[in-house]
Structure 1
C-alpha cells in the first residue's frame, strides 16, 4: 500500500512536470528543432561530402581515353563537366565558378599506351578545404580506374594478377547521411536529457514552486524520479518520431536492428543523463550558469564518446577514462543495433554498464539534491 502511494505521488508529480513543459514554448521549439531540422542538416550538410560539385575539363587530347575519363564524372557527386579552354582555367577559378579543373594534355593516350611519362593535372580550389581534400582523392581514383579499364580493354594481359574487391558492409553505397542522421539523434537524446531535467529544476526554483514542494508530504527521491520519468518520456517520444519520420521517411535511411531494443538502451542512458542534469542544476543558481556548466560537460561527452571520431584513434588514457561516461556505452549500443542489427547477446555489456553508471549517478544526484533542499528549508 505504501509503495502504491509512493508510485502514485511520483506519477502525479511527473504529470505536473509535463504540464509545465507544455507551457514553456521555448523548450517545445528546442525539442522540435533538435529532432527535425538538426537531424536533417546533420545528415545532409556534411562539408566533405561531394554533391553536385562544379568541375571543368580541359581536353587537349581529344582521344577515346580522354572522352572516357570525361564521361566518368556524373551526378550526384559531380555536375556534368564543363568543357573549357586552357585560357579559361585561371579566370574561372578566380571567381569560384569551378571547384576542380582537370587538364588532360595533348598526346595523353599515346603516352599511356607507350608506357611513357603520362601526366595529367588537377587544379583544386583549396579555399573549400574539406571538399577539396575529399574531391582530390576521388578524382584521382576515378581517373586511375578509367585508365586501368581502358588498358584492360586494349590489352587484357596487362590486368594485375590480383583483383581487389571492396565490400562495404552495413552501408554498401557509403552514404554519409546514414551515419550523420542516426548519430545526431543519439547526440540530441544526450543533450536534451540534460537540458530538460536541469531546466525543470531551475524553473521551479526561479518561480518559487520548489518551496511549495518542501511543505508537501513528498520526498526528494520522489521529486527526482518524477522529473526523470517525465522528461525521459518526452525525449523518447521525440526520438521515436524523428527516427521514423525524418531518418526513415525523409532521409530513407534503413534501420537494421530492433527499435524496441534500442529504446530500451536509450531509457537506461536517459536514467543516467537526467540524473546528471539534476546534479548540474543543483550546482547552478540560474539558467545561464546551468548552460555554461552543461557545455563544459556535454562537449567532452559527445566528442570523446565515439559519435564523431572512432574511439580507437584516441589516446589509450582517454579511451579508458571515457568508459565511465554513459555516452560511450550508448553510442556503442546505438551503432551496434541501428547499423549492424545486433541483438541483446551482443550489446548486453553496454546495457549493464549503463545500469551501473545510471545507479551511481542517481545516488550522487539524490544526495546533492537532498542537501540542496535541506539548505533551502
Structure 2
C-alpha cells in the first residue's frame, strides 16, 4: 500500500466533505446542539412541573406537605380551593393537583389511614408518568417523619446509606450529555464513510479512480482515515468544550484513554459503513440500511437500557457489535475512572471486531469496483 496515494486520496475526501454543506451542518449539530438538547431535555426526570394544592385540613402536617414541593422538580405550589381544581386542570394550568382532606392530621395520629387525592393531567405524558411517583414518595416521607416525632416506634438496627460516587446529585444531564456524544460517534462513523462512497458513485468519480494507479485497499483506507479523523476531532471538541467547559459536566477518568478507544470504535464502524455503502445503490437506499443497522446497535448495546436487563441470548449476540464494547469502555472510563488495566478486554475486542469488519468491507469493496 502506497502511503502517499492513501494520504492524497484522504485529502480529496476531506475537500469533498468541505464542499458538502448539509453534511457539515450534520457534523456540527451532532457534536454540539444535539448533545446540549439531549442532556437538558432528560424526559426521565421531572423538571418545573406545575402543581396546585387544595389544603382542606389547614394543619401542621398539611403545611409540611405543601412546603415539600420546590424547584427544580416542581414550581412553587399554588394554593387553590376545591372549586378551582377541575377548571385549572381543564385549562392546562396545573399538571398535578393534590387535595388534602379535612382532619387529615388527626386521622394520621389516630392510627387511621386517610387518603390524599392526586389529580394528574395525563396529556403531559412524560411528566405525568414520572411525577406521580415523585409526589407519592414526598408525601410518604413527610407523613412518616411527622408521625415518628409524635409516636415512639421501634427503629431498625441497620440504616442503609446510599452514596453515588459519580454524579452525587444524580443529575440526568451528566449521563445524557456523555451518552449523546457516544451515540453521535456511532452514527457519524457510519454516515460519513458510507456517504463518501455513495457520493463517489453518484458523481461518477469511481471510474476515475479505477484508471488511476491506486489499489482498492488504498481507496478504502483513505476514506477510513479521513472520515475517522473528522469524527475523532468532533468527539474531542464535543467532550472537552461542549460537555466539560460549557455544560460543566466532569469526567472521572482519562480523556486521552477514552479517545484511544474512540479511534478503535471509529475504525470498526467506518468499515461497517463502507460495507453497507457497497450494498446500497443510492443514498436513499443507504439511509434505509442505516436505520436497520443503527436502531439495534443503539437500543441493544446498553446505551439506553442496561444489558443485564436484556435476555441472555441478546447479550451474547450483541457481543459481536463494536459499540457494545465501546459503551462498556466509555462508561468505565468516564463514569468510574477506570484505567487501561480494567478496560483492556474492550480495547482488544474492538480491535478484533474492527479487523474483521475491515476485511469483510475490503472483500465487498473489491467486488463493488469490479
Using the size of structure 1 for normalisation, the TM-score is 0.95
Aligned residues: 370
Contact (CA 8 Å) 1:192, 1:235: kept in 2 or not? yes
Q: Which structure 2 residues correspond to residues 87-106 of structure 1 after superposition, within 5 A?
A: 87-106=83-102
**Residue 221 of structure 2 corresponds to residue 225 of structure 1:** yes
Question: What is the distance in 2 between the residues matched to 1:355 and 1:48?
Answer: 35
Are 2:144 and 1:165 aligned? Answer: no
Name which of 334, 338, 353 aligns with 1:338: 334
Alignment of 1:198-209 (within 5 A): 198-209=194-205
Distance apart, 1:160 and its partner CA: 4.9
Q: For the residues of structure 1 that align with 2:352 and 2:120, how far apart are their CA atoms? A: 52
1:13 to 9, 12, 16: 9
Deviations 1:55-105 (A, max 9, x none): 000001111111111111111110000000011111111121111111111
SS where residue 72 of structure 1 aligns?
coil
SS in 2 for 1:154: coil
Q: What is the distance in 1 between the residues matched to 2:344 and 2:41?
A: 34
SS in 1 for 2:149: helix
- Shift in Å, 1:309: 0.7
Taking the aligned partners of 2:46 and 2:103, their CA distance within structure 1 comes to: 30
8 A Cα contact 1:198 1:281, kept in partner: yes
Task: Kindly state the Cα deviation for residue 22 of structure 1 after the two structures are TM-superposed.
Answer: 0.7
Aligned to 1:142: 138
1:176 aligns with 2:151: no
Unaligned runs of 5+ in 2: none
1:266 to partner: Cα distance = 0.7
1:341 is displaced (CA, Å) by 0.9
Deviation at 1:157, TM superposition (A): 4.4
**Alignment partners' CA distance in 1, 2:224 and 2:78:** 58
State yes or no: 1:258 paired with 2:254.
yes
Task: Assess if the C-alpha contact under 8 Å between 1:56 and 1:83 holds in 2.
Answer: yes
Contact 1:35 1:242 in 2 (8 A): yes
Alignment of 1:194 onto 2:190: yes
For each residue in 1:245-297, what CA deviation from the matched residue of structure 2 results, as whole angstroms up to 9, or x when unmatched?
22112322111111111111111111110011111111111111111111111
CA 1:372–1:226 in 2, change beyond 3 Å: closer, same or farther? same
CA root-mean-square deviation: 1.4
1:128 Cα deviation (Å)?
A: 2.1
Q: Structure 1 CA distance, aligned partners of 2:57 and 2:157?
A: 30
Counterparts of 1:224-373 in structure 2 under 5 Å?
224-373=220-369
Question: What TM-score, normalized to structure 2?
Answer: 0.97
Stretches of structure 1 lacking an aligned partner (at least 5 in a row): none
Q: Distance in 2 between matches of 1:294 and 1:356?
A: 23
Matched, 1:23 2:5: no
Cα separation, 1, equivalents of 2:268 and 2:152? 62
The answer as to 2:12 corresponding to 1:36 is no
**Corresponding residue for 1:121?**
117
On the 8 A contact 1:151/1:158 being kept in 2, the answer is no
The offset of 1:109, in angstroms, is 1.0
- Taking the aligned partners of 2:145 and 2:248, their CA distance within structure 1 comes to 33
Look up the match of 2:47.
51
